[in-house]
Amino acid sequence: MFEIIGERINGLFIDIREAIKNKDPKPLQDWAVKQAEAGAYWLDVNTGPVASKEEQAEIMAWMVKVTQEAADLPCCIDTTNWMAMEEGLKVHKGKAMINSTTAEQAKMDALFPMAANYGAAIVALTMNEKGVPKSAEDRSALAMELLANADAYGISPIDLYIDPLVLPCNVAQEHGPEVLEAIRQIKLLSNPAPKTTCGLSNISQKCPNRPLINRTMLAMAMVCGMDSAVMDACDDELVDVAATASIILNQSIYCDSYAKIFRQR
Amino acid sequence: MAVNIIKERWTSKVAESTLGPDGLKIGGESTLPFMHFEGEMPNRPVTALEVFDMEPADWPEMLKAPYADVLGDPVAWAKKVVDLGADMVALRLMSAHPDWKNASAEEVAKTAKAVADAISVPLIVIGCGVEEKDGEILPVVAEALEGKKALIGCVTQANYKSITAAANGYGHNLIASTPLDINLCKQLNILISEMGLPLDRIAFDPLVGALGYGIEYAYSIMERARLGALTGDKTLATPVVCFVGQEAWKAKEAKDPDVPEWGPQDERAILWETTTATTFAIAGGTIFILRHPESNKRFKAFIDESMKA
Amino acid sequence: MGLTGLEIFKQLPKKNCKECGQPTCLAFAMQLAAGKASLDACPYVSDAAREALDSASAPPIALIKIGAGEKALELGNETVLFRHEKRFEHPTAVTIQVSDNEDVKAKVEKINKLVFELVGQIHQVSMVAVANDSGDASKFADAVKTAQENTAYPLLLISSDVAAIEAALEVAGANKPVVYAADENNYEAMVNAAKKYDAPLVVKGNDLESLAALVEKVAALGYKNLILDSGARETSKVLQDQTQIRRQALKLFRPFGYPTIAFANNADPIVESLNASAFTAKYAGIVVVNSAEPQHILPILTLRLNVYTDPQKPIAVESKVYEILNPGPDAPVLITTNFSLSYFCVAGDTEGARQPAYIVTVDTDGISVLTAWAAGKFTPETIADTVKNLGVMDKVNHKKIIIPGGVAVLSGKTAELTGLEVIVGPGESAGLPSFFKKQWNQ
């Protein structure tokens, strides 16, 4: 079943930044409810830029807490600050998602044990200290490293969400087919296969027609085996695409009200 | 070599429903049928024996025999099936059928009330099978049975609106019936729940076929629905009603008294009805509406064995 | 079935020596998974790892061949847990047990008579089991000899006494009977006995753990022509063990990669029949019962037919004229397809309406009315030919046929081709009772 990771609770958005500054839970909670009703399965929580690591950890814990007060959904804790990650995990109810590690050994050795310790799912990016590879093969090679390391830390492939890194189609057009092929290859790496995810709206950065590009990418990625995406859960037509693709891929049982039911899971 | 027992990580479960004045619980399974090692099966599958509100015209002798003294008297008949060990009574309002007595809603409601008052087990009320007529009589029956928390059916895409409104108003549960199609089944559950009747007050009827007569279609629908229920599809997570007796006794293997190469009818007919029921039990059936008391007994014995952890 | 990169990687030495030409063992594993490299390129892979990787390409459940001649059968090669996912491949071998203490010939002859016609095909049991209840090896061998002389069914030889099994195999070994069973105490001798004739051998544990351990020991003796018995006999335990074995086998847990046997034998034949049916639906390769009475066996064989039907290929009924409730010359003639469910629905609802009728099933390769119409198999031409060839109109004193409401568009052309009045019936068979009342009997 396709999992929407709602992207809206992020300090990069002005209303959330203000809310963090004023310690006002309402905007976060409004978005939590709105995204839950729109069909989100996870809620991404990101502090945005914060001056100190300690302060960021404190803010993350507060954000996770108030978000979960409003919506009965798990959070995707989105930060590169490991201290903030751990503080978020500590207050989280249910199974959280860690966003994210890369294939750099130091990161894997810090974040995989954390995921195992808290029973959390984890997003893993197919990049390392050399950056983002171009070819599908190099992306899946990194995915394999992520998978083998996760396995060594006792993390089941079904809790590992591999992100092959979607890049903007206006400046990195040649990455498009490579990403799609990488998704196919990643789904063959193990049995059960690892999950896949992506930051969907990256595909349309600075393009006109962003919604159309996002929707098209989502449908194409789902055909290749994309299991989830960080995306705009409140883009109704985008969610309709996810619901319809799920039906066509026989991931859920058809009924005439399928699009409505998809949002009520 | 160590065997790592594979337990599926089911994320959801079948809705638990409550029936009758004493609150008989059904459903609520968090695993595949009888897979006690990986989940709960908090309530056992239950049986009902059918009672007609008039003498049934097409029942074979073998099926009439155990009820010979009560066939024209639904209240006495209902008490008898409770004595015979049925968990519930399934009253079929056949007299309302336009081809039979074309009885009015008030007449059948009176019978339903009399039967409900005479028993302490939950009552299932089945209409005459003509959608339009059932749409007229069942709301009146629902009103007469207020407080009995009955299971009323069968509602279809054609008549669900009036019956759902009445069931909701008078506190009953519904049987939603769709013809061997999991998509329509899901949709009807949704349509009913959108009228405000919660999903845990619906049981679905996929129109089962008997052993040898298309049993595999409903078997696979039940397996798919249970997998859906366990993986989060709430619209398919309602208990399942199996009209086993009605179908099994249509089969010539059950009703034909004299086919030497099939063996004597007494055991053959009971096995036809009971095998149809047990097959649906292992696929995910919840409520089994049977006709012969011996089948009821045999089926319950099978469930006793299957429920052992 | 290919191995995944992770599975291969776990078997590699993880030295990252680069001697295979790949930068890392991980990369090499991925090349292997993609079929772009050979394991021979790795100089350090262990024999154990090589064997694990070789055997991993085998199917999840081995194909086991039983018996000889026309009644020989195959079990295994199953690939799914639920029939709707694809289909079940090899129907359960329904097996009737005979004791070497009873009149073997009489019971075997009774078993031979269990022949039923179901939807136009002949269905029978699959095997005869001979049990060494006497404890006497030569009596057992005699019973096996009698069974073999009186039936063509493959045999299942039941004894824990290796000498008795050896004696029986001397009589029947050439016909590849199933040997029951190798247990913790006798497995070495049993393997040797079965191996001599390449006969399938049941490995019997006390539970799943001990079964897996024993299969490993038997496999270590080089014998892989196996069938599994977890030792469970209670209904609930059998259902759970059968499910576990199938699940684990599909996840490539090798010790469970064989067909299974389940014993439903019970002093109460109704209980026995019910359990045998349940075990047939839930994965038993062989199911054993005592009763040879048709009323106990027919339900099991019928359920086996139903559950093992390919869900993608509907069952067809014979294309002919079916008579419902002794129809007379004024009875209606209903046309439908030979898809079994179409026929059952029409027949059931006609009977339910207490309407004597003739039902004509047009041969559409067993597909339903609308699908057959769309596929050009249910057409005015096929209807006209079937009505004519089956001579149904000779049985009636009218010139009317009734076609399904879903194909109302065919009525004009059909009328033209047949010279009959074509009445359009209801769209669903459930509408037949009121159709008869309102339109036919007016």
| Span A24-34, average pLDDT | 97
Q: Tell me, rounded to whole angstroms, the distance of Cα C340 from its chain centroid.
A: 19
User: Who's near C186: CB < 8 A, 6+ residues apart?
Assistant: C160, C162
User: In the predicted model, is pLDDT for residue C314 greater than 80?
Assistant: no
How far apart are the CA of C35 and the nearest CA of chain A, in angstroms?
A: 13
* Contact assignment for A144 to C7 by CB distance below 8 Å: no
Choose from A62-71, C4-13, C55-64 the range with maximum mean pLDDT: A62-71
Q: B 211-270 residues with CB below 8 A of C?
A: 211-217, 219-220, 223-224, 227, 250, 253, 261-264, 267-268, 270
In what side-by-side order are the strands of the sheet with C321-324?
Answer: C321-324, C357-362, C333-337, C400-403, C421-424
Contacts of A1 in chain B (CB under 8 A): 231-232
What is the widest separation between alpha-carbon atoms in chain A? 51
Residue C280: per-residue pLDDT: 98
Name the residue among A104, A103, A125, A112 with its Cα closest to residue A85: A112
Q: Read off the pLDDT band of A1 (50, 70, 90).
A: confident
- Tell me the average pLDDT across C391-420: 94
- Identify the residue among B12, B189, B199, B233 best suited for mutation to test binding to A, counting A beta carbons within 10 A and taking the highest: B233
Is pLDDT larger for residue C428 or for residue A212?
A212
Provide the β-strand partners of residue A231: A6
| C238 and C203 belong to one structural domain | yes
Q: Is the pLDDT of residue C213 over 80?
A: yes
The pLDDT of C258-269, averaged and rounded, is 98
How far apart CA C416 and CA C383 sit, in angstroms, is 12
Q: Is residue B53 within 8 Å of residue B74, measured between CB atoms?
A: yes
Q: What is the mean pLDDT of residues B66-85?
A: 97
For chain A, the first-to-last Cα distance in angstroms comes to: 10
Contact C129, C95 (CB under 8 A): yes
Distance CA C149, CA C167 (A): 16
Sheet-wide strand order for C178-182: C226-229, C201-204, C178-182, C155-158, C127-131, C93-99, C286-289, C261-263
Contact A189 C251 (CB under 8 A): no
Tokens of A169: 């189609």
Nearest alpha carbon to residue A109 among A140, A143, A82: A82
How many domains is chain C partitioned into structurally?
3
Is A184 near chain C, with CB under 8 Å?
no
Mean pLDDT confidence for B171-192: 94
pLDDT tens digits along B20-32: 999 999 999 999 9
Which positions in chain A touch B233 (Cβ < 8 Å)?
252-253, 261
HEC assignment per residue over A37-91: HHCCCEEEEECCCCCCHHHHHHHHHHHHHHHHHHCCCCEEEECCCHHHHHHHHHH
Q: Which residue ranges make up each domain of chain A?
A: 3-263
Contact B255, B269 (CB under 8 A): yes
What the block records as the tokens of C316 is 């067809």
Say whether both C350 and C395 belong to one domain.
Answer: yes
pLDDT band at B8 (very low <50, low <70, confident <90, very high): confident
> Hunting for tokens 């209303």 — which residue is that?
A15
Inside any domain, residue B200: yes
Structural domain span for residue B91: 40-306
Query: For residues A166 and A181, what is the distance between their CA atoms, to the nearest angstrom?
Result: 12
C6 close to A (CB below 8 A):
yes
| pLDDT on residue C312 | 80
In DSSP notation, C179-213 reads EEEE-TTTHHHHHHHHHHHT--EEEE-SSHHHHHH
Through-space distance between the first and last CA atoms of chain C, rounded to whole angstroms? 64
CATH of the domain at C36: 1.10.15.40
**Quick count: other Cβ atoms within 10 Å of Cβ A56?**
22
Task: Please state, in angstroms and rounded to a whole number, the distance separating the CA atoms of residues B93 and B75.
Answer: 13
Q: Which residues contact B171 (CB under 8 A, 6 or more apart)?
A: B146, B147, B149
Report the pLDDT averaged over residues A104-119: 97
ipTM over 0.85: yes
CB atoms within 10 A of CB C427: 14
Residue B229 belongs to domain with CATH number: 3.20.20.20
Position of tokens 């992520």?
A: A146
A3-263: CATH homologous superfamily?
Answer: Dihydropteroate synthase-like (3.20.20.20)
**Is the residue at B109 inside a domain?**
yes
pLDDT band at residue C2 using 50, 70 and 90 as cut-offs: low
Residues 6+ apart with CB under 8 A from B306: B33, B34, B281, B282, C235, C236, C239, C278
Q: Which residue of C has its CA nearest to B277?
A: C274
Percentage of chain B exceeding pLDDT 70:
99
User: Where is average pLDDT lowest: C14-23, C143-152, C296-305?
Assistant: C14-23
∠ CA A36-A38-A43 to the nearest 5 degrees?
Answer: 40
Rg from Cα positions in chain A: 18
Strand C286-289 relative to strand C261-263, pairing = parallel
**What are B247's two structure tokens?**
């179908």
* Chain A residues whose beta carbon lies within 8 Å of the beta carbon of residue C26: 141, 144-145, 148
- Concatenate the DSSP letters of all residues of C7-38 into one string: HHHHHS------TTSSSSHHHHHHHHHTTSS-
Give the H or E element holding residue A99: strand A97-101
Report yes or no on B221 lying in a domain. Answer: yes
Q: Is residue C146 part of a domain?
A: yes
CA–CA dist C61, B292 (Å, integer):
41
Set of chain A residues whose Cβ sits within 8 Å of the Cβ of B231: 1
Closest by CA position to A197, among listed A179, A176, A178: A179
For residues C81 and A177, give the distance between their C-alpha atoms in angstroms, rounded to a whole number: 35
Is a pLDDT exceeding 90 seen at residue B189? yes
A142 touches chain C (CB under 8 A): no
Q: Is the CA virtual torsion C49, C51, C56, C60 positive or negative?
A: negative
CA dihedral A105, A111, A117, A123 (to 10 degrees): -120
Min mean pLDDT across C106-110, C133-137, C148-152, C317-321 is at C317-321
Contact check, Cβ <8 Å, B182/A253: yes
Beta bridge partners of B51: B91
Confidence bin at B53 (pLDDT 50/70/90): very high
Please give the tally of structural domains in chain B.
1
Of A218-222, B99-103, C158-162, the range with the lowest mean pLDDT is B99-103
Residue C362: helix, strand or coil by DSSP? Answer: strand
Three-class DSSP labels, chain B: CCCCCCCCCCCCCCCEEEECCCCEEEECCCCCCCCCCCCCCCCCCEEEEEEECCCCCCCCHHHHHHHCCCCCCHHHHHHHHHHCCCCEEEEECHHHCCCCCCCCHHHHHHHHHHHHHHCCCCEEEECCCCHHHHHHHHHHHHHHCCCCCCEEEEECCCCHHHHHHHHHHHCCEEEEECCCCHHHHHHHHHHHHHCCCCHHHEEEECCCCCCCCCHHHHHHHHHHHHHHHHCCCHHHCCCEEECHHHHHCCCHHHHCCCCHHHCCHHHHHHHHHHHHHHHHHHHCCCEEEECCHHHHHHHHHHHHHHHCC
Nearest residue of chain B to residue C305 (CA atoms)? B212
Q: Which residues of B are less than 8 Å from C275 in CB distance?
A: 302, 305
Question: Do C270 and B298 lie within an 8 Å CB cutoff?
Answer: yes
Residues of chain B numbered 17-36 and touching chain C (CB < 8 Å):
32, 34-36
* Bond before C55 cis per omega within 30 degrees: no
Do C89 and C33 lie in one domain? The reply is no
| pLDDT higher than threshold 50 for residue A251 | yes
Q: Give how far Cα C172 sits from Cα of A136, C64, C130, C180, Å.
A: 59, 18, 12, 14
Q: How close C341 comes to chain B (CA, Å)? A: 6
pLDDT in tens, B214-240: 899 999 999 999 999 999 899 999 999
pLDDT of amino acid C54: 75
Chain C residues touching A190 at Cβ < 8 A: 4-7
Are A264 and B184 inside 8 Å of each other by CB?
no
Q: Does C314 fall in a domain?
A: no
Reported confidence tier of residue C1, pLDDT bands at 50, 70, 90 = very low
Q: With beta carbons less than 8 A apart as the criterion, state whether B20 and B286 touch.
A: no
Name the band, by pLDDT with cuts 50, 70 and 90, for residue B1. low
Residue C256 lies in a domain: yes
Q: Do C6 and A140 touch (CB under 8 A)?
A: no
What is the domain range of residue C366? 321-440
Contact between A120 and A96 (Cβ < 8 Å):
yes
Between these two residues, C120 and A183, which has the higher pLDDT value?
Answer: A183
Pairing between strand C64-66 and C73-75? antiparallel
Q: Which residues of C touch B301 (CB under 8 A)?
A: 271
**For helices B293-307 and C235-250, what crossing angle results, to 10°?**
60
Task: Please give the structure tokens belonging to residue C86.
Answer: 């694809």
Neighbouring subunits of A (3+ Cβ pairs under 8 A): B, C
Given a cut of 80, is residue C442 above it in pLDDT? Answer: no
Q: How far is CA B239 from CA B86, B202, C384, in A?
A: 18, 7, 46
Cβ(A25)–Cβ(A9) below 8 Å: no
Helix (H, G, I), strand (E, B) or coil at C78: coil
Q: Averaged over C58-83, what is the pLDDT?
A: 94
**A145 touching C, CB under 8 A?**
yes
- What single-letter DSSP state applies at residue C231? -
DSSP calls for C87-117: ---S--EEEEEEETTS-HHHHHHHHHT-EEE
Arithmetic mean of pLDDT, A28-37? 97
Query: Are C333 and C257 members of one domain?
Result: no
